[in-house]
A and B are shown apart, each in its own frame.
Chain A
Amino acid sequence: MRVLLAALAAILFLSPTLQAQPTTVQEVLQAHGDAIAKGSRKSIGPAIDAIAASGLPQAQTVLETWQAKDMWQRKSDGLFFSAKEVAKKTYRLTDFDTGQTVGEFDKGDLRQLKPNSGVRALIGVALVQFQLSDPDPARRLDALTAIQRDPEPSHLAPLRASIDGETDPAIKIRKQQLETLLTIRFDSDDASRIAAIETISKDISLDTRATLNTLLATTRKAAPGAVPETENIAAVLKPGTEQLSAGDAYTLLADNGLAPALITDGEQRNILSANISGGKVSGVPVASLNTQAARDRAYAALVAEGKAVPRPTAEDITAALANHSFYDAYFEPSKPVTDAAAKALKSVEIRVAFNQTLDLALDGISLASIFFLAAIGLAITFGVMGVINMAHGEFIMMGAYTGYVVQQFIPNYTVSILVALPLAFAVTFAAGVAMERLVIRHLYNRPLETLLATFGISIALQQIAKNIFGTQARPLTAPEWLDGAWVLNDVVSISFIRIAIFALALIFLGVFLFIMRRTRLGLETRAVTQNPRMAASMGINPDRVNMLTFGLGSGIAGIAGVAIGLFAKVTSELGSDYIVQSFMTVVVGGVGNIWGTLAGAAMIGFLQKGIEWMNPSNTLAAQTYMIIFIIIFIQFRPRGIIALKGRAAGD
């Protein structure tokens, strides 16, 4: 590198055409010596520009050294060197031009240049053109990112110059994209700007939209008489319409000095109070000033005395508004460019809207999978057996806490999740069987009391969890391969955890269908559900079947708990957050039918996301409207989306 620089320097020295230009960096530095030594952000610009524009190969080194605070000035002759500390208070100086060591000097003979952060930033901008052609691809990327963050007209030329020499195809594409964006913003030729705008009208990235929006930024102005011809007008506004209220229009006039300022009621009061003398304001007693009319009278008296300016009357305001025109003007002066940009933005926005719909659909699917997961256990206990289990949410919570406890013992997240899933099933299966044996068995045919008894259990379980694990949220960490998201473009993305939950929901659906349709337990469950006495006389033990079915439903809740815990906070209230939605899912979908549960989850998930999209700032409102919608929906389909028909539907 150094040899190369030396060679380049030699060529430059030999070149006869460089008479007018400085031949060494030192000359340039000396030419701006005072400014450099002073290091003020205001006056340093020409110095930096001179170094960068000198065309000397050492310019980059100088700027980098300076930026790194390694450039020192020798006090004796004011020359600048690159310095390196070799011993305490002793520095070895290196000449920029020759690369030769000049010698070692005591710190007292030298002065360090300490550019402040503002100056360093300016140096950074100047360095960009060197960095864009840096041999190291990582530094070229850094330079591109730096330009993207804070683009300037001066970047355009070096960026264009660097594209042809670019060897890395990925960086080349980025450079071209950035070049397009910079062309749109800073190029002096309208035709090339419009051409660049047209090329990006199919792109939906954030940068594109930001560039177009910057180009289309407007400012609201008022002018006496007609709209001036010189401005690039975005829209002409009429005062008193929705875009511009009469009050705003008048304030705009007053702010621009085109009309006397409006005096608010508060300002009027302050003026009155400043003019109190002897308990009166120009003859009106202060005590009577407790209505607006009285204050107006007192103020009018003050105006007559010349102590205050008159407030503009309603007629004044109307006249002022009529005599002025109001419009939004683009900052960008060129009309063809703004027209092209507006057209491009429209086409971009259509694409963005399409992609947002896609993104919303993905969100809806993932929320629906969560509701489905939370509700599928209920679909078994409530839907198939007709037993209402308010402690279902607490089984979900137990599953999540099981996952947390497993992670305390198994540090590998992948293994711990694989262990936690069957373990959560086992724990909640056991809890479900115990609950069925001890409580629910005694309450068959008394659904309201089942509801209350299971609620008692739910209260107790929740409090026990709080006593054991505390009230703070416990982490259930997902394995690394579930981190991150599947990013389609700047608009559409979905996290891997949600994809995994969707997959898990599909697996559960399959498992449920398999158990109910293809196994002995499923057959017996359906038989007992339809007619327990007949089933019993066929040799099926209804007690055992009920116990196992309830255990199965609870166990699935446990697995769902592990899945939900991966993205939600694991607290003792985890279950109660989902219980109402779970019941809604089952009820809306239709009791006793897994496809109904699926339909219910899909409907609730999509609906909630849809409502959230309409009012994005407010998820609470979304849930409120959601529940109101469900209450109304039940009016029209009391038995859910997919209702059982025939005898099985009987109460």
Chain B
Amino acid sequence: MLRFILQRLAVLIPTFIGITLTAFIFIHLIPGDPIEVMAGERGVSPEKYAELLHAFGLDQPLWKQYLDYIWQLLHGDLGKSFVTKQPVIEEFFKLFPATIELSLSALIFAIVLGIPAGIIAAVKRGSIFDHSLMTLSLTGFSMPMFWWALLLIVTFSGTLGWTPVSGRISVMYFFDNVTGFLLIDSWLSGQPGAFKSAVSHLILPTIALGTIPLATFARQTRSAMLETMGEDFIKTARAKGLSPFRVTVLHAFRNALIPIITVIGLQVGVLLGGAILTETIFSWPGIGKWMVDSIFRRDYAVVQGGLILIATMVITVNLTVDILYGLIDPRIRKKGH
């Protein structure tokens, strides 16, 4: 097992170098000039321009900039934002909990609704429920997400006034950021209404971000269930006279679980991508919005550092899923050899 894990880790090293190189090249190919963006309509004089170029290290040859960057990276330093002058890593960890909170909440929303719906649809294959669920989920799957999010805002916040419009919590609550996860912090704070406020702010972004995973889970669960339910051991179990509930949940579902977990693992990248749009629309102070803002203002350091951190996270999750597989299913471990 250890060998299996080490092997997987070894593969990550060239991938990681590739990621840093890609991020670096990306940034330096992006036209536009962070100094011009900073100066706006008013502009800077040529002398000042040269001074700033030098100060940011942008006057060095590219290969040297890259090597310097890698050297910094090895020391855990991702550089400082050109705009806020804060260390990139610090900003990342300040904003990251917000993204995690939203993504987890969307994931849970999708799992809790999607998997049971998929099971029921599979059990009642061909029924009206099955048909309407599959149509609905395909619709969710086809939804332009930003449009859906705006529709949700207009309907539930604008017209009905049921939910707050944007942000993570009402600004009237002010308490210690112990964990950075507002659901936990607001509850810990003990301020009446704070927790409720945090939850109500989370509802619409969760629905917006969770819709596509929800549709995916429902569809995948249904097909995985159908597949296992057709297999011999289920037929045997049925023939043995086990209750339909036990057959479905204990036997069929358990065996359908592996493909479902695969799909859940794959959704991590999707959620992070989706966070870009959701966070932008709901003013959710997370890393998705941070990245988009930074791309637009040519904050090289942030875009570069952010890309590397996010990509590293994605490959780490993939690795974890890989290893989990190895644990669950020894056959995969052997295939790795």
Partners in one complex: no
